[in-house]
Amino acid sequence: MRIASWNVLHGLGIPDGKYDQARLIANAACFKEMDLVALQEVDHGQPRTQLDNQAELIGEAMGLPYRAFSPALFGTPGEKWQRAPHKDLAQFGVALLSRRAPLAIHHMNMSGAPFGAPLFIPNSGFIYIKDEPRAAVAMEFENFVIASTHLSFIPGFNIAQLHKVSKWLKEFGKPAMIAGDLNLPPSIIQKSTRWKSLARSKTYPKWGPRTQLDYLLVDEPSAWGAINLLPAPSLTISDHLPLLLDCGIA
């Protein structure tokens, strides 16, 4: 089974800093060989991205018919938003796309830190950013469960969120994977959890990767069979490189 995790940065082009639907679709088509794809920073109905349903557009381009989206907030990230669901507001969150029909889809929401921190923004440099709520969406299959998530960039809060997601997935009683942008370097991952990364590769920033922030973490490495890290395709959107692998789980 081929699995990928990719922070799409709501389809923002690098280095031009613009959104183009055709470019998003062309980039997503590079993942047609994948069976499961976890996405982070996904827009739904946002004016900045032409009101697109990005999970549906990307899923169609990848040829993955089963799609689950979980909003972390309602409104526009970095601007005006709220945690409470509202049918008239745009959404921003995480998604999970699959070639195989899941047994069930599960959602979890997490609070962000009550403060922010300087964060590097492509084309803008370091800007003070307030933290925002986070979400995780999971697909449960016969032999495993996988979740897509994007954790806080605030030290300590991201570790607490990682523990919350891992505890949640353990409740299913199956081999589990956490796929996503965890905003943590490998050294902290190793110290803060017993979960293991199936793939080690520097993923951020895309134009000169210095560290790994994106992971495919599992609680039982032996359950996933032989692991082969796959090369990342050449992409023109996002500030993250995707993480791709082929594993032996059925």
Judged on CB neighbours under 10 Å (0-12, 13-18, 19+), 164 is middle
3-state SS class at 222? helix
2-7 vs 36-44, strand pairing mode: parallel
Task: Find all residues with CB under 8 Å of 177, minimum gap 6, and list them.
Answer: 3, 144, 145, 146, 147, 169, 198, 216, 217, 218, 224
- Tell me the pLDDT tens digit for each residue of 154-181: 999 999 999 999 999 999 999 999 999 9
User: How many domains does the chain divide into?
Assistant: 1
Which domain range does residue 131 map to?
Answer: 2-246
Q: What is the pLDDT of residue 129?
A: 84
Average pLDDT over residues 147-155: 97
Q: For tokens 């692991």, what's the residue? A: 227
Q: What is the pLDDT of residue 123?
A: 64
Q: What is the pLDDT of residue 27?
A: 98
- Tell me the pLDDT tens digit for each residue of 28-58: 999 999 999 999 999 999 999 999 999 999 9
Residue 125 pLDDT > 80: no
- Tell me the pLDDT tens digit for each residue of 193-248: 999 999 999 999 999 999 999 999 999 999 999 999 999 999 999 999 999 999 99
Q: Report which of 139, 121, 150 is spatially closest to residue 42, judged by C-alpha positions.
A: 150
Q: What is the pLDDT of residue 213?
A: 98
176-181 vs 196-197, strand pairing mode: unpaired
Q: For tokens 């000169």, what's the residue? A: 208
Whole-model pTM?
0.96
Q: Read off the CATH number of the domain in which 154 is found.
A: 3.60.10.10
Q: What is the pLDDT of residue 122?
A: 64
Are the C-beta atoms of 146 and 97 separated by less than 8 Å?
A: no
Determine the Cα–Cα distance for residues 52 and 50; give it in Å rounded to an integer.
5
Residue 83 pLDDT > 70: yes
Average pLDDT over residues 98-125: 88
